[in-house]
Amino acid sequence: RTRQASLVDHFIQPNPGCDFALAMAIAWTVLEDPPQPHPQTYCDHYEAFGKMVRARSQQEWADIAGVRLSQVK
């Protein structure tokens, strides 16, 4: 762990080079429960983004990132 890790509420350390997989795992959570209703009305390419996120299960993205599923939910 780094000094910066002691300064945050939640620290998630993905495998090196796996930031994208971590982002996709977190995006699963956001897509399941959007912070605002009807995101497709104000987010460009929302449908395509959803397809990209769901190309793998949330567990698969978490496994690739090297994090526990509970860390991204």
What would you report as the CA-atom Rg of the chain, rounded to the nearest whole angstrom? 14
Q: Which two tokens stand for residue 35?
A: 């912070």
Q: Going residue by residue through the chain (73 aa), what tens digit of pLDDT does each one get?
A: 678 878 888 889 999 999 999 999 999 999 998 888 898 898 899 999 999 999 999 999 999 999 999 999 8
pLDDT of residue 11: 86
31 contact partners, CB below 8 Å, separation of at least 6: 50, 53, 54
